[in-house]
Structure 1
């Protein structure tokens, strides 16, 4: 076991360290965080607009008026989330270079708008909303990275207009950014023109064919999801924030799948995907935090005899209800603890398989694409994530019992070792 731990440590820690310190992945993660409050706002109104049984209480006409009145809340946030992510990524990356972050954000947004088609069903001057949402994320992410790098390069080469002393600082900064922004946008205009002469016609078609399509198909599969979950757990075991590392890579895929489900849910169609952002966040992470440690807290109160574990349960219980589990991870501890390595890895995999299976056969509704705040307690989060279905809440409770069953013998051994040590100290 020790040799196996050393092997994992030697292989994974250097990789995790590089990923964690990579400026692009950091900007990607922080860019999503910028958009999160807006996404949650839109999701809340999706829930309100689709309250259960409301369509049975109201007339068809009244219900349609009600939904149309609330629609702008999600259409101006969720439906165009890609725009906020693009600005956030470029802002954070430009800030990393100590540049004018605001200009880095807006030049990325303008570059993206230059690339996307501005026609819809033959009508010019119209931008399809789908290009601005999660479907356009892959193009947006690449655009944000490249535009921020180009802007930084041109600004760093002093391709700027220097204003004389006495000119207001805001005016001076605007003129200083003029040439770097103009050169950056010109390059993206040239890219758009070049692609218009290829069989792809647009950058979007190229990215979707070569990158987005294959990655989305891969990310929607059970195997890739289990692999991602295992990496999250392994990184956490060695004291690294597994979610931050892995989500930086998988979030664009999971959000795109999430958006497909949301559009289908709002239009009353069959939901296409089981694996989405909310599949992971609600039915795995949203049960006490990474590793579903709410089950561990409950077990502590049921079988814990040692003073250490019971004190830990009282300390970690309140925060665990809201999916904050650092007290358990560092207090049990989970980090570098060989006794709990097996349940720490095994329980999330079992729950992933169970959740995928029951949603695939229709026993529980698939995630509706509604972004539920990660601090939402178990039961309520499952209800909301599945489009106000009680079966989503029941599935979370069932999964919690499964995790408790996996952890039971291992926690019993750990608690017994603590209890024996405490007895010796008293004697």
Structure 2
């Protein structure tokens, strides 16, 4: 184990050093950190608004009213989290160059909104909220990078208005930013106009189509499922909501297979499919969220000394029980963190393969087509999704052990780095 840990440290640490010094990746990470408080707030209320089986306790009408009352909490945060990330990236990009950071954030969000479709179901001058969330995240990140670089370029070329002495500094800064902001936004407007004459109509549609079309050809079955699971993890690693991107293509397939199993289950016949919507949602995502991070929290509490990681475990544990893991994803962070890239990508793929073969051999029951609320805690969800079969919960427990084992050495490595930094800070203060 010590030799393996040393090898990981020797291989991954230099890569981490180079990535940490990259201004784009640094701005990306810091941009997500700007959005973190809103993400955590929204995550908490998503859990509260979707407590399992509450509708059966209080009735459908009362439950609908309850969800409507709490809905704005997530709608104003998680649903439009792309806006916060874009502002953060633009701000941090310009701040890192020593410029007026606030204008970096402002020009980034304005550029993104120019590129965003502004029509909903034939109604003009309306921005769809899904474009402001995960669906528009890739375009938002790219736009923030480009707009911040353009703004800084125009400032560096002295394309600014110089105000005379005596003008208040706030007024002078506004006029100084006028020409760089105008030139940057004009370029994005031209790009939008050009794309309006293409079949895609908007840049957002162009990018989204490029992501979706390769996925559509994958179909169903174990190979396609492993690819889908891996892509979910890859997208998340780069700050994109992998489930929304991949599920938008695979959900029609998975739901159709799910319905076949449900019909067979109700008829008392053999279940025809292994891979269904509940296969993904219950035996992979339903164990702490994307990446199956509930087991990672167990690793944190079992082996770490770092105060940062242990506090993160306390923060992410309660929501992780209900399969909401944004606090862990953005707090560790997992995004753009080479030290956890291998387990993040590997663990769900291994679990998907193991679960598939366990079900194909009859060791574990296949999903019965029952749609279990996605916030249902692990073990209970496995029991319910397989038609109240205890082996569904056992399969989830086995999957958690697999994730625990895969993540163990990497959390030890991360803990060693964080704990060392904490000790150096403590010694410097002493």
User: TM-score per shorter chain, which class?
Assistant: 0.5 to 0.7
Write the distance in 2 (CA, Å) between the matches of 1:314 and 1:110. 40
1:142 aligns with 2:147: no
Offset at residue 92 of structure 1 (A): 1.2
Write the distance in 2 (CA, Å) between the matches of 1:117 and 1:405. 45
- Listed as ranges, the matches of 1:187-198 within 5 Å are 187-198=187-198
Return 392-401 or 101-110, whichever deviates more.
Answer: 392-401
Write the distance in 2 (CA, Å) between the matches of 1:183 and 1:142. 18
Q: TM (normalized to structure 1)?
A: 0.63
Return 106-115 or 16-25, whichever deviates more.
Answer: 16-25
- Listed as ranges, the matches of 1:14-53 within 5 Å are 15-53=15-53
Offset at residue 362 of structure 1 (A): 3.4
8 Å Cα contact 2:299/2:407 also seen in 1 = no
Deviations 1:34-93 (A, max 9, x none): 112212211221222222232123243332222111111111111111111111111111
Deviations 1:300-349 (A, max 9, x none): xxxxxxxxxxxx89999976964899xxxxxxxxxx9xxxxx99999786
Q: TM (normalized to structure 2)?
A: 0.62
Return 397-406 or 30-39, whichever deviates more.
Answer: 397-406
Unaligned runs of 5+ in 1: 230-245, 298-311, 326-335, 337-341, 371-379, 409-427
1:287 aligns with 2:275: no
Partner of 1:160: 160
1:362 aligns with 2:402: no
Shift of the 139–403 alpha-carbon distance from structure 1 to 2, 3 Å rule, reads closer
Write the distance in 2 (CA, Å) between the matches of 1:182 and 1:221. 46
Partner of 1:210: 210
Q: How many residues align?
A: 345
1:251 aligns with 2:239: yes
Unaligned runs of 5+ in 2: 219-223, 253-258, 260-275, 318-327, 329-338, 409-430
8 Å Cα contact 1:293/1:320 also seen in 2 = no
Shift of the 288–147 alpha-carbon distance from structure 1 to 2, 3 Å rule, reads same
Shift of the 137–361 alpha-carbon distance from structure 1 to 2, 3 Å rule, reads farther
8 Å Cα contact 1:79/1:133 also seen in 2 = yes
- Listed as ranges, the matches of 1:61-72 within 5 Å are 61-72=61-72
Deviations 1:162-220 (A, max 9, x none): 111222111111111111001100001100111111122111111112246548999x9
- For the aligned residues, what is the CA RMSD? 5.2
Write the distance in 1 (CA, Å) between the matches of 2:10 and 2:310. 36
